[in-house]
Chains A and B, each alone.
Chain A
């Protein structure tokens, strides 16, 4: 039976390899023109993933170096994640002037609300960790995921309510980010409880395995959406009913009534 540590490392290797494949698919299919920020994001997760792996196995690096590598990798990834979510939202509402301004204002208000919520969470429950740095990292990670989850929930509900059309690949990107941030937040919430009760290392391995497995699923989702052909827009959804001039005339007459 595989040990937790070995299983985690296997998933980690696969995830990094597939991230690189995803980046190459985006470049070769010239999808970076359509989704520049996501191309940058996929490039970063593959390069940073390889760098963190190298730091983990290099003989001349220590635990602190590894921690710094992880923090930088996740920090840049979080910034790019926020930029992608905002760009996706702005892109969706741009074509609808009736809600463009209002939508952006509400998006900012929702972001502010979740920032305040995350700060309150951080105040009420400081992170658990072997050192102050790890605690700080854990709280920052939870804050980022809370904010991303809030923004994604708002994005999906807003587009769902106003029936704003999604292109298939854009939906795939949002779906992957949703899987990633929601699972990471749930793991963080559960891990904070387990870590308080049990030994540190075992729960840490388990959290790492679940997080990397989710990451792997998100990368697979992105890869499948990027490889699948974008369905051509359908002009109508079936045979059109014949022109009904009588109805139109009646309708026009009704509108012309004082």
Chain B
């Protein structure tokens, strides 16, 4: 009976997966891009900042504040990953441009956006783990680097292809 239930759940997860894949293919809008403050994010992830707080706060307070900082970092990463998804859609359109320079810039942007989502996918579980064990150091610095690289690609793409409000939103 247990096996039958497991198999039925696995079978049901296929239409759920199809729904998710199809639902996410819906074209996003530029207005959906959320602002990400990279300096604040870097500050949250700064090991020296963490050490400073650890030295100057009682352990219970440090754990509480560190959890809040990590929660904020997860929010930042989620925003950056979401922006990357929106940009992937716009760059997909630009990649089909007859102008090879624009197409190349768009391909680079897609590459960076996907890389960022990949880092985000790996960083978020680590941050949640660090929330459970606040003393455990984490540094998803690659997310910040990747986000900066992606922002640069948006600007470069914008010089050849009208990306309008996107750079301002980023």
Q: Which A residues are closer than 8 A to B by beta carbons?
A: 96-99, 102, 121, 124-125, 142, 145-146, 149-150, 152-153, 155-157, 159-163, 165-166, 171, 174-175, 178-179, 181-183, 185-186, 188-190, 192-193, 233-237, 240-244, 247-248, 250-252, 255
Q: How many residues of B contact A (CB 8 A)?
A: 52
Known contacts: A193-B4, A233-B96, A242-B162. The answer to whether A251 contacts B155 by CB under 8 A is: yes
Q: How far is the CB of B42 from chain A (nearest CB, A)?
A: 14
A146–B9 CA distance with the chains assembled, in angstroms: 11
* 30 contacts across the A-B interface (CB closer than 8 A): A98-B115, A98-B118, A99-B115, A125-B3, A149-B10, A153-B17, A156-B17, A157-B21, A161-B24, A163-B25, A163-B89, A171-B21, A186-B11, A189-B4, A189-B7, A190-B4, A190-B8, A236-B90, A240-B162, A241-B164, A243-B164, A244-B165, A244-B167, A247-B167, A251-B151, A251-B155, A251-B168, A251-B170, A255-B151, A255-B152
Contacting residue for A163 out of B18, B85, B121, B168, CB 8 A: B85
Shortest C-beta distance, A59 to chain B (Å), equals 38
Q: Report Cα–Cα, A226/B2, bound state, in Å.
A: 39
Which residue of chain A has the shortest Cβ distance to B96 in the bound complex?
Answer: A233
Minimum Cβ distance to chain A for residue B5 (Å): 8
Closest to A252 in B: B155
Contacts of B97 in A (CB 8 A): 235
Q: Mark B82-100, 1 if CB is under 8 A from A, else 0.
A: 0001001110110011000
Q: A146-B10, A240-B164, A247-B168 are in contact. Are A160 and B17 (CB under 8 A)?
A: yes
- Interfacial chain A residues near B85, Cβ < 8 Å: 163
A121 touches B118 (CB 8 A): no
| Chain A residues within 8 Å of B60, by CB | none
Say if the beta carbon of B111 comes within 8 Å of chain A.
Answer: yes
Q: Which residue of B lies closest to A165 (CB)?
A: B92
Interface residues of B (CB under 8 A from A): 1, 3-8, 10-18, 20-25, 27, 30, 85, 88-90, 92-93, 96-97, 110-112, 114-115, 117-118, 121, 151-152, 154-155, 158-159, 162, 164-165, 167-168, 170
Asked if A248 and B167 sit within 8 Å, CB to CB, the answer is yes
* A155: B residues at CB distance < 8 A: 17
B4: A residues at CB distance < 8 A: 189-190, 192-193
Which B-chain residue is minimally distant from A237 (CB atoms)? B27
> Distance in Å from the Cβ of B115 to the closest Cβ of chain A?
4
Interface SS majority for chain A: helix
A152 touches B17 (CB 8 A): yes
Residue ID in chain A nearest B30 by CB atoms: A241
Pair B115/A149 contact, Cβ less than 8 Å = no
Q: Which residues of B contact A181 (CB under 8 A)?
A: 11, 14
- The listed residue (B5, B14, B121, B168) touching A182 by CB distance below 8 A is B14
Closest to A183 in B: B11
Residues of A within 8 A of B12 (CB): 182, 186
By beta carbon, the residue of chain A nearest B92 is A165
A105: shortest Cβ distance to chain B, in Å? 12
Candidates B17, B96, B111, B152; contact of A157 at CB < 8 Å = B17
Do residues A255 and B155 form an inter-chain contact, with CB atoms below 8 A?
Answer: yes
